[in-house]
Each structure stands twice: as C-alpha cells, then as structure tokens.
Amino acid sequence: MSPTDSRPDTEPVVTRKRRQCVFENSRFSVYSDHICAGNPEVKDFLVVAPHGHRADLLTGVAVVAHCAGRILLLRVWRHPAGQYTWEVPRGFIDEGEEPEAAAVRELAEETGLRAAHLISLGCSLPDPGLIRARIALFAAAECVQQGRADGSELGIEGAAWFSVDEIRRMLTDASLEDGVTCVALWRYLQVMQKGS
C-alpha cells in the first residue's frame, strides 16, 4: 500500500457492537462505542461526530489567505488546549452549503477579506482517531479587503500577515501546532512552488 492510498488492500474487520450518545450540542454528538476486531476490543471508544449528513464527511473548511506576498494567520484562544494558536481562517459548512461557498463566507466573517479566486488544496482529516469529519482546504490568492471581521467568533484575538519565508520558518520550527493549518499551508506552499 502506498502512502497516498486512502484504503488498505483489505477492509479492516472492526465491528461496532454498541453505540451510546453521551453528549450532544448544536454542532456535535459524542458517542461511546463498543468496538472489536476479533479478540481485541474497546468498550468505551470515543467518537466525536459533527452534525451533518454528507457522505464525504465534509463538515468544515480552512482557507489560506494570500495577498501581496503575505499570508494571514489568526491568533486564536483554544479553550481545550488552554493556549493561543496561530491558525488559518476556518469554520463549519452550513447545512446545504457547498464547501466553496463556506470558504468564501468564513473568510469574510473572520477577516473581512474577499476571495477573488479559490484554489482547492484537497481535504484533511483533523483527528481521524477521534473526529468523524473531513475539512476542505482552500487557498484564496490575492485577497481584497472588503470590510471588517464581524467580531463574533469566540477566541479570535487578532490577525497578522506573515511573509512566505516566515511561514516556512514557522512550519519548520514547530511554532505552528494546529494540524489543519499546517497541512493547508504546506500544500499551498507546494502549489506556489510548482507555479513559479
């Protein structure tokens, strides 16, 4: 199996014997699953499942905003981690919304930027051992300031523009820790490199 294959040659033999919803809010359901694969079994395997009914599991978007040779990152307080992180703009796909429309909307809401052109960067699994979701990744090249961020996003404390060299350094020295942000930025840097 090559690293780019998304499925092994044979399907894994993991059976869910029981599922119990242990928590639910407006965006997520949290389940305790009893799963087994022959002899090994786990009676309380945790699964976080965002609401939504898409077969492709797309529930969110992340957008690399690029303008005049600089890339925008948001400074976000992440309550579960108890720290600030640098992240690309991101958010949920609303029911019935296409990922591209969600990317344009989230970028405008969180930054006030308008995406003149979106580039697909594929998808990412945010934490496949825990979260049943896929994030669509995009780049918005040559963004235009259209207005102000709407200010309603809990935890967003600011934004800063970084040069491409600074982004490369941040990826290399591990000052960027958010996985979705790292994947989106790395893929966009590869697109830029191929284009030059």
Tokens found for residue 81? 């981690």
The number of beta carbons lying within 10 Å of the beta carbon of residue 56 is 9
CATH fold, domain 58-195, is Nucleoside Triphosphate Pyrophosphohydrolase (3.90.79)
pLDDT at 3: 54
| Residues of the chain under the 70 pLDDT cut | 1-12, 196
pLDDT at 127: 94
What is the rounded distance in angstroms from the CA atom of residue 159 to the CA atom of residue 122? 24
Q: Give domain limits for the chain.
A: 15-50, 58-195
pLDDT at 72: 97
Give the angle subtended at the CA of 163 by the CAs of 117 and 193, to the nearest 5°: 60
The residue to which tokens 């092994």 are assigned: 8
Mind giving me the DSSP string for 32-80? EEEEESSS-EEEEEEEEEES---TT-EEEEEEEEEETTEEEEEEEEETT
pLDDT at 39: 82
- Are residues 128 and 12 in contact, defined by beta-carbon separation less than 8 angstroms? no
What is the rounded distance in angstroms from the CA atom of residue 71 to the CA atom of residue 168? 11
pLDDT at 196: 61
Q: How far is CA 66 from CA 1, 125, 132, 193, in A?
A: 35, 23, 29, 14
Alpha-helical regions (H) of the chain: 99-111, 164-172, 179-195
pLDDT at 135: 98
Q: What is the pTM of this model?
A: 0.90
pLDDT at 2: 53
The residue to which tokens 């307080």 are assigned: 77
pLDDT at 12: 67
